[in-house]
Chain A
Amino acid sequence: EAQVTQNPRYLITVTGKKLTVTCSQNMNHEYMSWYRQDPGLGLRQIYYSMNVEVTDKGDVPEGYKVSRKEKRNFPLILESPSPNQTSLYFCASSPRGGRFNEQFFGPGTRLTVL
C-alpha cells in the first residue's frame, strides 16, 4: 500500500530535550516536506527536500533541522524544543515533474513541549 508513515504519532517532551520525528514514504517520490498545523493558521511548510541531500527552508524553519540521506526518509529534528513548537506535524511527499504534483500526507504527529 502506497503510504507516508510518521513516528511517533504522539509525543510529550520537555523544553530542551532533543527529539526526532521520522517520516518514510514507499512511493519513490523525489519531493518531501514537513508542515506544522496550528489553530487559526492552517498548515505551514517548515522544510522541504527535492531529492537526496537537497533540502531547503520553507516558511517557518526556525528551530528545526532536517536531513535527506535516503530517498524514502525525511526526519524532522528539534535540537532544543521549546513550547512554541507544540503543534501537529505532517510529513508529505510528491513525485517530481509531470502535471499532477499531488502531495500525499502522513497521519500526523502531535507534539507537546512542556
Chain B
Amino acid sequence: AQSVTQPDIHITVSEGASLELRCNYSYGATPYLFWYVQSPGQGLQLLLKYFSGDTLVQGIKGFEAEFKRSQSSFNLRKPSVHWSDAAEYFCAVGPLGETDTGGGNKLTFGTGTQLKVEL
C-alpha cells in the first residue's frame, strides 16, 4: 500500500532563512508527486508537482522540490522564507498512468508539516 511520511510535524524558521521540508513516500508504481500548501482557514493550493523529467521542479511562490528515486524522497525547499509562508504543507503521492487505478486517482497524503516563521 502506498504511504507518505512527513517526519517533521512542526518547523520554525526565521524570516529570510532557508527551508527544507522532508517527504518520503512508498509507492508500488511510478509515482506522481505533489506538494500542497494550506494557509490558516484556507483550502489546498498546489505548489508544485512532479511526474517525470528533470528531478528538480519549480513551483509557485519561489518553492522547488527535488525528486530522489533512490531515497524515495521529494523534499520541498525555499532559499529565503517570507512571513507569509507560515502555513501547513502537505506532500502527496498519486497514480501516474493511463489505466484506471483503484481509488479513482486517489491521492495519499502525508500528515502535514506546520511551518512557523519568526520575524
Contacts and interface: CB of A to CB of B under 8 A. Distances in A.
Interface of A: 31-33, 35, 40-45, 48-50, 56, 58, 90, 92, 94, 96-103, 105-108
B106 A40 contact: no
Nearest to A9: B43
A98 B94 CA distance: 13
B54 interface: no
Given A90-B43, A99-B98, A101-B32, A41 B111 contact: yes
Contact of B94 (A32, A40, A58, A101): A101
Q: Which of B43, B95, B100 gathers most chain A CB within 10 Å?
A: B43
Contact of B109 (A43, A50, A98, A107): A43
Contact of B49 (A31, A35, A40, A102): A102
B14 interface: no
Identify whether the interface residues of B are mostly helix, strand, loop, or mixed: loop
Contacts of B44: 90, 105, 108
Interface of B: 4, 9, 32, 34, 42-44, 46, 49, 51, 90, 92, 94-98, 100, 103-107, 109-112
A81 B88 CA distance: 27
A33 B104 contact: yes
A48 to B, nearest CB: 4
Nearest to A50: B104
B104 A99 contact: no
A45 B42 CA distance: 19
B90 A32 contact: no
Contact of B107 (A50, A96, A99, A103): A103
